Structure formats: C-alpha cells, structure tokens
Amino acid sequence: MDFNGQKILPAVRNLKDIEEMVESEYKYIVLLNSHIGQLKSLVQLAKSKGKKILLHADLIQGLRNDEYAAQFLCQDIKPAGLISTRKNVVLTAKKHKLISMQRLFLLDSIALESSYKLLETTKPDFIEVLPGVMPHIIKEVYEKTGIPIVAGGLIREKREVEDALQAGATAVTTSRVDLWR
C-alpha cells in the first residue's frame, strides 16, 4: 500500500498552505493543527480539487481525542484517513474503512517495545515513525511489522528525506514548505 507513488506528504498547518496545496500536484495532504469549525469545509475544498486529506486527529482544536471524536470525524467530516497516537482512533478509522495511520514517538527502547505491542492490536495501514531521521529504526520497524512506514518529525533537509526513503519508508510527512517543492 502506498500513496500512488507520492513520496512527500505535505503537512499543512495554516489556511494559506492548504489553499496552495489543493492547487498543487500532490494528491495526499496531511492536515495538522486544525479547528473543528473549519474541518468540514477544508475537507470538502480538498475533495473538490481531487485531493485526499489525512487528518491528524490528535491535533484538532475543540475536539477531544477519543473514540467518539473519531466516529464523528469518520462519519461527518469524511477525510481519506486519520492519523493518531491513540489506539481507539486508529481502530475506529479502520472500522470505517478510512486510511489508518498509527503515529509512534520512538524516544527510547521501552517506547519501541511498547509500540510493537500496540501495533499487534491496531494493525494500521501505515505507521508514522517519529522522529523520521532514524533510518535504522525505520528499517527495523518495517522488517518487524511488515506495515508500510511513513517517516515524520525533525526532517529538515532533502538528504534526510532521501535517507528515510532509502531505509524503506513509503513516504515522508513534513511541514517544511521548502521540501514540498
């Protein structure tokens, strides 16, 4: 599974960037730091331009980060997918046949081991590994799980994008506008 060959997933934080991205060649766009009142119109705008929004469920202002919020997002907002650190959000996205992405903050060996246990339960479509500047960990997580990896977090240079992709990441999420071009 991949994003139709798209290697960069622009992670947009503001309205100006969203408006620019819906006019770009990118088909998949990650929406960060959104407000509940803007979600429906932003997702509809993206869909009207043939774009697919991957919504970061944990970063929506005005919405709790729980299973009920995930149900609301799946049924009413209808993005292409949900990204979350939370097990119930990922499972809800899967239940509603949206793209599910489990976000993992791999800070140390304990976090890595507990993440493997979590992934046995959620079995997401994708794993977002943070920070994404650890090629050997990207490779290890993919080899251990067989789940496609998206690298994210602290990726600042084109070389870091290339390193993550060479390590086996399917794509890279980044809010760095210079890496979108």
Q: What is the pLDDT of residue 170?
A: 98
Three-state DSSP class for 84? strand
**How many whole angstroms separate alpha carbon 128 and alpha carbon 142?**
11
Q: What is the pLDDT of residue 113?
A: 97
Average the pLDDT over 125-150 and give the result.
98
Residue 65, pLDDT > 90, answer no
Average the pLDDT over 142-167 and give the result.
98
Q: What is the pLDDT of residue 1?
A: 77
Residue 163, pLDDT > 90, answer yes
The per-residue pLDDT for range 84-115, each reduced to its tens digit, is 999 999 999 999 999 999 999 999 999 999 99
**How many whole angstroms separate alpha carbon 41 and alpha carbon 53?**
12
The per-residue pLDDT for range 40-59, each reduced to its tens digit, is 999 999 999 999 999 999 99
